[in-house]
Amino acid sequence: MKDYHEIFTKFKEEFPEIHSRNEALGDEIHERSGPLTEKIRWLIKIAISGASHHSRALETHFMKAKQAGATDEEIKHVLLLLIQTTGFPTFMEAYSMYKKTGGT
């Protein structure tokens, strides 16, 4: 699979063992730790990365959510949920990244 961010490719090249272990942990958590569907997991990760101001992760999570079948309406709903909990500026930051990555 092609990396979404060049810096991630560099990380994998420089720290292959750490990358491998991190991927294994991610697979365990995503695939085997609970009943949530893939789409729901990526929508939750959009909320987490948006609330945490992790724009690079947010961009990746938008793409992964869409690949898992999330609609633009579902993604926008998740983003709107940020307003009441984390504030309007946080929403606008995440919404801006969504639009920048091709969200409609």
pLDDT at 14: 96
Q: Which structural domain, as residue segments, surrounds residue 8?
A: 1-34
Rg (CA), the chain: 14
**Is 51 in the same domain as 82?**
yes
Tell whether 77 and 26 lie within a shared domain. no
Report which DSSP code applies to 37.
-
The pLDDT tens digits of the residues spanning 29-50 come to 988 999 999 999 999 999 999 9
Question: Whole-number mean pLDDT of the chain?
Answer: 94
Contacts of 18-23 spanning 24+ positions with Cβ under 8 A:
none
The span from the CA of 72 to the CA of 7, in Å, is 27
Look at residues 83, 97, 82 and name the one whose alpha carbon lies nearest to residue 44: 82
- pLDDT mean values, one per 10 residues, the chain (104 residues): 80 95 93 95 98 95 96 98 97 96 86
pLDDT at 5: 80
Read off the tokens for 69.
């079948």
Same domain, 30 and 44: no
Give me the count of residues in the chain. 104
- pLDDT confidence of residue 1: 57
